[in-house]
Amino acid sequence: MRLAERGMPFVVALVAIAVGYGLSVGLDGYFVYLGMSAVVAGISLLGLGVVTGSAGMISLCQLTFGAVGAWTVSALNEAQAPGGFLTWLLLGGVAAGAVGVLVGLPALRLRGINLAVVTLGLAAAADLALVQLQFPGVSGGISVERPDAFSDDRSYFQLAVVVLVLCCLAVYFLRRGRWGSAWQAVAFSERGTAAAGTSVRTSKLTAFAVSATLGGISGGLLTGQVGLAFPASFTAIQSLALYVLAIMSGAHLIDMAVFGAVLWVGVPELLKRWGIPQDWGFVVFGVLGVQALASGGNLGTTVRQVWYRRSKKEPAKLDLAAGASTVEPVSPGPPVLTVRGLSVNFGHVAALSSVDIAVPEHGVLGVIGPNGAGKSTLVDAISGFLPNAEGSVELGGSPLTGSPSNRARAGLRRTFQQDRVPPGLTVGAYLKFLARRRLTADEIGEALDFFGCPAARTPLSQVDVGARRLVEVVGHLLARPRVLLLDEPAAGLPHEEHVAFGERLRQVPARFGVSVLLIEHDLDLVRSVCDTITVLDFGRVLASGPQAEVLADPAVLKAYMGETELL
Amino acid sequence: MLQGALAGLAAGGLYAVLAVCLTLMSRLVRVVNFAQSATGMFGCYVAVFLSVDLGLPMWLATIAGILLGGLLSALLGWIVSTWLAEADTGTRSAVTVAVLLLLISLSFILFGNKPQPFHPILDGPALTVGGVVISQVTVVTVALAVLVAVASRIVLSRTPAGVQLRALSERPTTAELLGIPAKRLSIAVWAVTGVVSTLVISIVAPSQSNDATSLAMLVVPASAAALLGGFRRLDLAVAGGLGLGLIQGAAAQVDGLSVVRYFLPFAVIVALLLWSQRKEVWDAAR
């Protein structure tokens, strides 16, 4: 079964190459030429699928990267550089990727919309500049030689199909790997990505670089197809159109990128046959693009939904009912996470004022307090999301500083109150992404079972919100951090499950070797899990110490007066 | 050099007005409107068509074009605030990318891809400064940029509608619960910026390279200018637009910079982003 699954992409690839061969032999010469154009567009769209579809960024200069590829191939051809066309093609991709990184660098810390402005600016500038400069070799009429074995149209189409299939395979495996998970994660939540110890910038940059590389390869391939590259093939408007097409076809799905490419060539061709000006093609794309964005869907997901309708299931839920085997608890040791004098000010409002906290090794510290007491601010500050926080945080005796992803890698993980689980991944892929290490299937299965979570193969989009948050907890535990900060992990669960969840949580230090800081509103849960408790009120520590002592403190009782979950 | 810089000031005024519109849109209706100048372009083209082909008087055709620009923008605003009321800025802006494509292609279909025979609304020199002639277009666009920025500022800070708009932009849900007519106000913002951008483009287009693509792509230097104010500050948006126009005009005088000149808005955008993004920010409040 597993072997079949691993081999599947290669089988599909072979079938695709065979189909390509069949088309190259069976089709009329004109259609073979159109087919080449479709393949070229397909590679471009595949790239856009990575950057816009997976990583959720707006990139409007895909054909500028194509132009870089075309430029490289033309220049190498003019210079008669060694290696021949295929090497040049690859170099064109590399050059475009490098340009992509350069363009992406300033846009790194930005939300998608600034990247859109940057890329449109580049596309517009490159458009004008290309018209003035022209491609190398064009003035002298030195056309790009196709490789000897693929000199005629039919065989060049076969070559193009092979290149496309290789690109598809590359994208398929990248998407399944760490990079792909990071793209999905960063598209859904940058904070979630950073909390998993993955650099937000690197994730965005890799997506941008891969997309640009594919754009470059597509441009190089186009140069081989037409012989001489012209600026008219790489205008800003066509880049816009490709972007819109990627949105409307759902190009993050590989088959839909290919389908989009067929539309790219097919729609203008049909219009031509019907005697309609070809500019209407872009109008059609534009209208469908607006429709796709406004309805939040696209052709790709619609087709897939029709396909999978039979197997459509209820959202997967938690199953915490079954009693899991218990482990002997370990007695808490000396503090592993020490926070001293932590202060956070938002303007004139002091959200936290010199808070001291200590999480014991192999222990569970509960942090409670009324709404607005600064509990979530505490988690944000410790995990590095509030760089302006004052005070010191020590993990295992050494100071914990830097960005959230650095802190996560140093062994401090956190979860969020809101859903930060990227719906595009499966449970298993998400766990691997969070864990940042090799996991065996057994390890994953065991951890999921322990918390009653859905199986690893389940897509997260089919998991209900409460269960998603426990999947997040499981993933962070599998990362084996020293300390895990849980921000109201039980908030999405039905009340009966709180107790069962608490039982599991109690075993976490012994079972996973992780110490826990738990923020929770449900005092029953806190009471059943935490050895020590710290109470926050208006950003100050009201009381701290062993559970029974703290909960009997009159000051704590007073702070909780009026709260429904009164002791 | 100075001559060139001052010649670039007309374009600078245009950038500044568009940048103010972009800033208003970004602040008030959470959208970076990539179709900002394309809407204006389309309105102007229709105006040219009305006056050249249908023989309408110039002033009437121009007014019709400007109103159409506002209407188109309002329509787009209606679509965005109806179907994408809850969507993030990225998705809302992506729609305007599709509309940008749509309007450029439509103008190719309806009016061909040759530049249009624009008839200048304003013509001739206005004044001479130190031997350098400044055209009426320059004076009017620069004045318009300042005027629009100041007017927006006054409307936003002094009028009840302005207060409602600010409430809407800061806390959309709360504002709506207070009974502020969110959709109507948003569409009004779209309409007003549509009218303003069509107006300024119809003033400047006769003296610019005025094919559909160039006019629609004016959004690039305009967003570079808007970025100086971080899509939030109107005064900096105006300064950015005028500054960019001056630099571009000066660069146009130097032969060796001809290709580099195209990349100026892009370079400005990148430089501004590098500078303004020194501090890391996160995508959600918490």
C-beta separation of A360 from A332 below 8 A: yes
Nearest to A121 among B95, B220, B259 (CB): B220
Is B90 in contact with A58 (Cβ distance < 8 A)?
Answer: yes
Residue B270 C-beta-side C-alpha neighbours within 13 Å: 14
Q: Which residue type is seen at A75?
A: A
On average, the pLDDT of chain B sits at 86
C-beta separation of A215 from A50 below 8 A: no
Name every chain B residue with its beta carbon within 8 A of the beta carbon of A246: none
Query: How far apart are alpha carbons A453 and A456 in whole angstroms?
Result: 9
Name every chain A residue with its beta carbon within 8 A of the beta carbon of B219: 120
C-beta separation of B8 from B249 below 8 A: yes
Nearest to B105 among A132, A247, A283 (CB): A283
What's the number of domains chain B is made of? Answer: 1
Is B286 in contact with A380 (Cβ distance < 8 A)?
Answer: yes
What's the CA angle centered on A154, arms A151 and A160, to 5 degrees? 80
Is A106 in contact with B32 (Cβ distance < 8 A)?
Answer: no
Tell me the average pLDDT across A195-215: 92
Domain that holds residue B203: 1-284
As given in the structure block, the two tokens for residue B14 are 């245009």
Tell me the average pLDDT across A250-254: 86
Is B281 in contact with A244 (Cβ distance < 8 A)?
Answer: no
- According to the model, what pLDDT value does residue A37 have? 94
Q: How far is CA A232 from the centre of its chain?
A: 34
Q: Report pLDDT digits (tens) over B27-69.
A: 888 899 999 999 999 999 999 999 888 888 888 999 999 999 9
Query: How many angstroms away from the CA of A162 is the closest CA of chain B?
Result: 32
As given in the structure block, the two tokens for residue A465 are 């919100």
As given in the structure block, the two tokens for residue A316 are 């997967």
The band of B172, judged by pLDDT with boundaries at 50, 70 and 90, is confident
Q: Which residue of A has its CA nearest to B113?
A: A279
C-beta separation of A463 from A430 below 8 A: no
- According to the model, what pLDDT value does residue A69 have? 96
Q: Does domain A333-411+481-561 have CATH number 2.30.29.30?
A: no
Query: How many angstroms away from the CA of B57 is the closest CA of chain A?
Result: 30
Which residues belong to CATH 3.40.50.300 in chain A?
333-411+481-561
- According to the model, what pLDDT value does residue A323 have? 60
Nearest to B259 among A113, A129, A189 (CB): A129
- According to the model, what pLDDT value does residue A478 have? 94
Tell me the average pLDDT across A136-153: 86
Q: Report pLDDT digits (tens) over A339-352.
A: 999 999 888 888 89
- According to the model, what pLDDT value does residue A554 have? 85
The pLDDT of residue A36 is above 50: yes
- According to the model, what pLDDT value does residue A493 have? 82
* A5 or A277, higher pLDDT: A277
Q: Report pLDDT digits (tens) over B159-170.
A: 888 888 888 877
Tell me the average pLDDT across A539-562: 83
Q: How far is CA B127 from the centre of its chain?
A: 26
Is B259 in contact with A295 (Cβ distance < 8 A)?
Answer: no
Mean pLDDT is lowest, of A323-327, A407-411, A427-431, B12-16, for: A323-327
Phi-psi region of B171 (alpha: psi -120 to 50; beta: other; left: phi over 0): beta
- What is the biggest distance separating any 2 CA atoms in chain A, rounded to whole angstroms? 91
Tell me the average pLDDT across A20-36: 90
Tell me the average pLDDT across A130-143: 87
Nearest to A282 among B105, B270, B281 (CB): B105
Query: How many angstroms away from the CA of B231 is the closest CA of chain A?
Result: 10
Strand ranges inside A38-81, DSSP E: none
Q: Of B101, B213, B275, B281, which to mutate for an interface test with A (greatest number of A Cβ within 10 Å)?
A: B101
Is A294 in contact with B83 (Cβ distance < 8 A)?
Answer: yes
Is A240 in contact with B97 (Cβ distance < 8 A)?
Answer: yes
Mean pLDDT is lowest, of A133-147, A197-211, A260-274, A304-318, for: A304-318
Residue B65 to residues A237, B45, B72, B99, Cα–Cα distance (Å): 24, 8, 10, 18
Is B101 in contact with A286 (Cβ distance < 8 A)?
Answer: yes
Is B217 in contact with A191 (Cβ distance < 8 A)?
Answer: no
As given in the structure block, the two tokens for residue B131 are 């031997």
Name every chain A residue with its beta carbon within 8 A of the beta carbon of B223: 117, 120-121
C-beta separation of B249 from B9 below 8 A: yes
The pLDDT of residue A1 is above 50: no
Taking each helix axis as running N to C, give the angle between helix B160-170 and helix B136-158, from 0 to 180 degrees, rounded to the nearest 10. 80
C-beta separation of A77 from A88 below 8 A: yes
Query: How far apart are alpha carbons A324 and A448 in whole angstroms?
Result: 11
Residue A204 to residues A62, A341, A420, B77, Cα–Cα distance (Å): 16, 35, 17, 30
Residue A385 to residues A57, A358, A388, B280, Cα–Cα distance (Å): 22, 19, 9, 10
- ipTM higher than threshold 0.85: yes
The pLDDT of residue A151 is above 80: yes
Mean pLDDT is lowest, of A106-115, A161-170, A386-395, B225-234, for: A106-115
Name every chain B residue with its beta carbon within 8 A of the beta carbon of A189: 283-284
State what percent of residues in chain B have pLDDT above 70: 97
Nearest to A286 among B99, B282, B283 (CB): B99
Nearest to B90 among A112, A191, A236 (CB): A112
Tell me the average pLDDT across A446-452: 90
C-beta separation of A70 from A63 below 8 A: no
Query: How many angstroms away from the CA of A188 is the closest CA of chain B?
Result: 10
Q: Are strands A364-368 and A515-519 parallel, antiparallel or unpaired?
A: parallel
C-beta separation of A332 from A363 below 8 A: yes
Query: How far apart are alpha carbons A182 and A208 in whole angstroms?
Result: 13
Name every chain B residue with its beta carbon within 8 A of the beta carbon of A125: 220, 262-263, 265-266
The band of A306, judged by pLDDT with boundaries at 50, 70 and 90, is confident
- According to the model, what pLDDT value does residue A474 have? 94
Q: How many CB atoms lie within 10 A of CB A291?
A: 16
What's the CA angle centered on A232, arms A227 and A236, to 5 degrees? 130
| Contact residues for A362 (Cβ-Cβ < 8 A; gap 6+) | A330, A331, A332, A333, A509, A510, A513, A515
DSSP B284: S
Closest-CA residue to B216 (of B108, B123, B143, B74): B108
The pLDDT of residue B115 is above 90: no
C-beta separation of A562 from A535 below 8 A: no
Query: How far apart are alpha carbons A286 and A223 in whole angstroms?
Result: 27
Nearest to B34 among A106, A120, A295 (CB): A120
C-beta separation of A344 from A351 below 8 A: yes
Closest-CA residue to A211 (of A325, A358, A78, A52): A52
Q: What's the CATH number where B36 sits?
A: 1.10.3470
Query: How many angstroms away from the CA of A114 is the closest CA of chain B?
Result: 8
- According to the model, what pLDDT value does residue B96 have? 94
As given in the structure block, the two tokens for residue B133 are 């002639």
Query: How many angstroms away from the CA of A148 is the closest CA of chain B?
Result: 37
- According to the model, what pLDDT value does residue A107 have? 67
As given in the structure block, the two tokens for residue B191 are 């309409």
Q: Which residue of B has its CA nearest to A487?
A: B286
Query: How far apart are alpha carbons A236 and A215 in whole angstroms?
Result: 14
Q: Report pLDDT digits (tens) over A229-242.
A: 999 999 999 999 99
Query: How far apart are alpha carbons A25 and A37 in whole angstroms?
Result: 17
The band of A566, judged by pLDDT with boundaries at 50, 70 and 90, is very low
Query: How far apart are alpha carbons A287 and A245 in whole angstroms?
Result: 10
- According to the model, what pLDDT value does residue B99 have? 94
- According to the model, what pLDDT value does residue A237 have? 92
Whether A147 has its CB under 8 Å from any CB of chain B: the answer is no
Is B108 in contact with A133 (Cβ distance < 8 A)?
Answer: no
Q: Are strands A532-537 and A540-546 parallel, antiparallel or unpaired?
A: antiparallel
Mean pLDDT is lowest, of A26-35, A214-223, B117-126, for: B117-126
C-beta separation of A183 from A13 below 8 A: no
As given in the structure block, the two tokens for residue B224 are 């570079």
